[in-house]
Structure 1
Amino acid sequence: MDIDARIKRRRRQDDSPRLIQDYETLSPAAHIDEPSDRGPVFERLLDHLDPVFDSRLPPNAYVYGPFGSGKSAIVTALFTHLERLSTEPRSVIYTTTRAGSPTSPGFVYVDMRETTSAFTFYHRIVDALVDEPVPEHGISTEKLQDRLHDLLSEFTTGVVIAVDHVGEPNTTGVDTLIDMLAGLPSNVSWLAIGRKPPDQIALSEYTATSIQVKRYQRQMLVDVLMTRASEGLARQAINHEQARQIAAWGDGNAHDVLAALFVAADRADQAGRSRIEKADVISALDEIPQPSVSLGRVLALPNNKQAVLRELVDLDEDERASVTATTEAISARPDVDLSPGTVKRFLYEMAEIGIVERVQSDVENRKGRPPSRVELRFPPTAFSRLYDLKQ
């Protein structure tokens, strides 16, 4: 751990106010408590969840919409508020002693990007419902299921579980997820969230309704940008004209416009400026691949794969001329304790799930077809900054 490096990242050369007040709030992968301009979607979700206000469970449902439409932000915010309200009039619902019976259902959020097996699926649910730590070792999946059933056996109101990012690459397969959901107690209902339309995902066969979340309209994206800027940047760091430019470019995708804001702000901050300039916006828009992948997916990768990506971001053009050159350069870095074979395997695996892309290299190869090189499918500035802040 390089403490000096950590301190240096936070120091400025003068006493002027920091342009970026909070990187985490500015992150496209972060969700704020009050998402902007999504009132109608919240109302449709509340219509579906209305039975909970009479201490009953709603039926299963599927929320769907394109990448960047704000599905996760909406559901996480709503579930956070509902869980808070459901516990206000009484003591905590789910205690180890189960001292009292709840008067309304509880709410649990599970992110399938971070839930890679039936064990972790049930573990996350149980962990959200009890106060004491749930062991991660020395307990079987079946025992966790039994504990969950025992835990909810005395609670007639049950639990509503949000299951986010279903059907994405590198997550649990839909058929397997259906089996996992079938293993939940009978007094549990679930709300699945994904990108595919209902007729393209088998999960919808087990739901009573589907709720669509459409792309953001342009003015909505401007509001999203200005709201996020007000929470993460210094005052007047970005103007409405710049926000409109980014929103027009984003074509309804809140993730990409927030990534552009992040990159533009970081560029301006690194240059010591107190406001974002036109050149910062142009540079940010040029940096974001189209189509891009969610930074949330990248940051949910195992640590060793993120470490490989972090080194990949810093490679020069020659080191990225081919997969072989990239592999050798990354494995030679002092911070990477991986063999060249493992690095290459990681690169291929991440290409298969769309995190990076293998494209034909411009390097001539007289022995056969040109070698392939690796291109990023996410904004490198945003990833590297967020990665470094976690270290």
Structure 2
Amino acid sequence: METPGGDGFIVDESALNPAVHLPEPVGRGSVLEQVLDALGPVFDGESPEDVAVYGPSGAGKSAVLTALCSQLNESLGRNEDAIWTSTRGTAAVARAQFAYVDARRADSDFQYYHAILESISPNPVPRRGVGTDELRERLDDAVAERAGAVVVAVDHLSETDDDVAHVRSLLEPVAAGTSLVMVAEEPLPEWSGRTVKVPSYRPHALVDLLTERASYGLSSGAVSHDQARRIADWADGDAHDALAALFGAAISAQRDDAGRLRESDVDAGIDAVPDDCVQIGRVLSLPENRRTVLAELLATDGHRQPISDAAAAVGERTDLSPSTVQRYLYELAEDGLLTREAIEDRDSNGRQPTRVRPRFPTLVFERLERRARL
């Protein structure tokens, strides 16, 4: 079996992973310029106005923000030159810092503070032995010691139960030295700050993205231009779904030791991405026990069976009871990661049985979850 950086058909699976973003996003240059323009004051050492970046799923919002935070931290934030400030009497770093927070993984105040500190602090930030109050104090000190602004980008907020008001309350003690970049799929209600709208990918840009990712992730000549175009046309501007289909097609081809993608592989890759697809990053951010249930659900074809039968089958393969598995399945359906569907049963005289259908890329999830367990 190949490794993520191996020399098989799949050379580097991280390049195919929709949840992994390249240092330079493909086809998002104009969006990058708009966000940079909105953050312009940081280049003069001032805090910019809060910015909301919104657009449909798979439009490249996360790709732009992660690349921007990383590149600007390298060019500005990590500058070790210091200036002397008469008010503090200490050396203060003169440049801005950029912190990226994935709201799907920051499910507590502690996680928010930890994610921000990891981005702006030159020292390791512990996860154990410290409480939320201590991390808040560390953040207060870190912001106070800087002469430049701290820009906090909060991504995937619309995929959580959190809201802008709560994020603002977390940063209230350091509000004077911080600016927010909120990333969502829809315009934020009652937002009064600046906004940047991100459009879906155009077909040619999506083909370019798939071609570049394939050049890093697959062996030479594995994907034809026509196949990339077919996937791009099917994905209808959604880069996440396009990459998930490409990754799934590669998995299908590798299973048969094929030297390049076949049309049947493209079919398999597309079929493994549901029409109402949930992004794979959201699934991978679930607690381990939920991911285990989903993995075993697919391994046992439980998504084709009544929920009670699926729960029993998963329970036999894990240390979870069938009742616990069934509860998890209902919760995952309520959270939108699964869809409950009625099963036609002509012999049933009582309540119609239901099953759950995955709303995430199944081939990609199985591959990445298996890797995580190694």
Alignment TM-score, normalising by the size of structure 1: 0.88
Q: Quote the residue 1:6 is aligned against.
A: none
Does the Cα contact within 8 Å between 1:259 and 1:382 map onto a contact in 2?
A: yes
CA shift, 1:184, in A, is 3.5
Distance in 1 of aligned mates of 2:358 and 2:314? 15
Letter in 2 for 1:244: R
Query: Which stretch of structure 1 is more off in the superposition, 173-182 or 104-113?
Result: 173-182
Q: Quote the residue 1:69 is aligned against.
A: 59
Does the Cα contact within 8 Å between 2:206 and 2:239 map onto a contact in 1?
A: yes
Is it true that 1:270 corresponds to 2:255 in the alignment? Answer: yes
Deviations 1:102-142 (A, max 9, x none): 22211111110100011211122123333433333443323
Is it true that 1:40 corresponds to 2:30 in the alignment? Answer: yes
CA gap of 1:217–1:349, structure 2 versus 1, over 3 A, is same
Distance in 2 of aligned mates of 1:184 and 1:196? 27
Matches within 5 A, 1:278-317: 278-316=263-301
Does the Cα contact within 8 Å between 1:292 and 1:378 map onto a contact in 2?
A: yes
Query: Which stretch of structure 1 is more off in the superposition, 123-132 or 280-289?
Result: 123-132
Does the Cα contact within 8 Å between 2:41 and 2:48 map onto a contact in 1?
A: yes
CA RMSD in angstroms comes to 2.2
Does the Cα contact within 8 Å between 2:274 and 2:361 map onto a contact in 1?
A: yes
Letter in 2 for 1:109: Y
Letter in 2 for 1:140: G
Q: Quote the residue 2:367 is aligned against.
A: 385
Q: Quote the residue 2:333 is aligned against.
A: 351
Q: Quote the residue 2:186 is aligned against.
A: 196
Q: Quote the residue 1:120 is aligned against.
A: 111
Distance in 2 of aligned mates of 1:228 and 1:61? 29
Distance in 2 of aligned mates of 1:103 and 1:17? 44
State the aligned residue count.
366
Q: Quote the residue 1:107 is aligned against.
A: 98
Query: Which stretch of structure 1 is more off in the superposition, 239-248 or 367-376?
Result: 367-376
2:207 to 222, 234, 246: 222
Distance in 2 of aligned mates of 1:349 and 1:23? 30
Q: Quote the residue 2:140 is aligned against.
A: 149
CA shift, 1:178, in A, is 3.6
2:2 to 5, 10, 19: 10
Q: Quote the residue 2:120 is aligned against.
A: 129
Distance in 2 of aligned mates of 1:177 and 1:154? 22
1:360 to 332, 342, 345: 342
CA gap of 1:314–1:145, structure 2 versus 1, over 3 A, is same
CA shift, 1:173, in A, is 4.0
Q: Quote the residue 2:242 is aligned against.
A: 257
Q: Quote the residue 1:55 is aligned against.
A: 45
Q: Secondary structure at the match of 2:39?
A: helix
Which segments of 5 or more consecutive residues in structure 1 lack a partner in the other structure? 1-8
Is it true that 1:322 corresponds to 2:306 in the alignment? Answer: yes
Distance in 2 of aligned mates of 1:184 and 1:329? 51
Distance in 2 of aligned mates of 1:315 and 1:276? 27
Distance in 2 of aligned mates of 1:144 and 1:238? 48
Does the Cα contact within 8 Å between 1:57 and 1:158 map onto a contact in 2?
A: yes
CA shift, 1:287, in A, is 2.1
Deviations 1:339-383 (A, max 9, x none): 222211111111011111111013346342211101111121110
Letter in 1 for 2:37: D
Letter in 1 for 2:233: A
CA shift, 1:91, in A, is 5.8
Alignment TM-score, normalising by the size of structure 2: 0.92
Does the Cα contact within 8 Å between 1:323 and 1:373 map onto a contact in 2?
A: yes
CA shift, 1:385, in A, is 0.3
CA shift, 1:143, in A, is 2.7
Does the Cα contact within 8 Å between 2:2 and 2:8 map onto a contact in 1?
A: no
Does the Cα contact within 8 Å between 1:117 and 1:172 map onto a contact in 2?
A: no
Q: Secondary structure at the match of 2:125?
A: coil
Does the Cα contact within 8 Å between 2:2 and 2:10 map onto a contact in 1?
A: no
Q: Quote the residue 2:357 is aligned against.
A: 375
Deviations 1:15-36 (A, max 9, x none): x962110112211111111111
Q: Secondary structure at the match of 1:108?
A: strand
Letter in 2 for 1:320: R
Which segments of 5 or more consecutive residues in structure 2 lack a partner in the other structure? 84-88
Letter in 2 for 1:61: V
Does the Cα contact within 8 Å between 1:265 and 1:276 map onto a contact in 2?
A: yes
Distance in 1 of aligned mates of 2:82 and 2:15? 29
Q: Secondary structure at the match of 1:10?
A: coil
Does the Cα contact within 8 Å between 2:40 and 2:48 map onto a contact in 1?
A: yes
Q: Quote the residue 1:234 is aligned against.
A: 219
**Identity between Structure 1 and Structure 2 (%):** 39
Does the Cα contact within 8 Å between 1:148 and 1:185 map onto a contact in 2?
A: no
Does the Cα contact within 8 Å between 1:152 and 1:185 map onto a contact in 2?
A: no
CA shift, 1:183, in A, is 4.2
Q: Quote the residue 1:3 is aligned against.
A: none
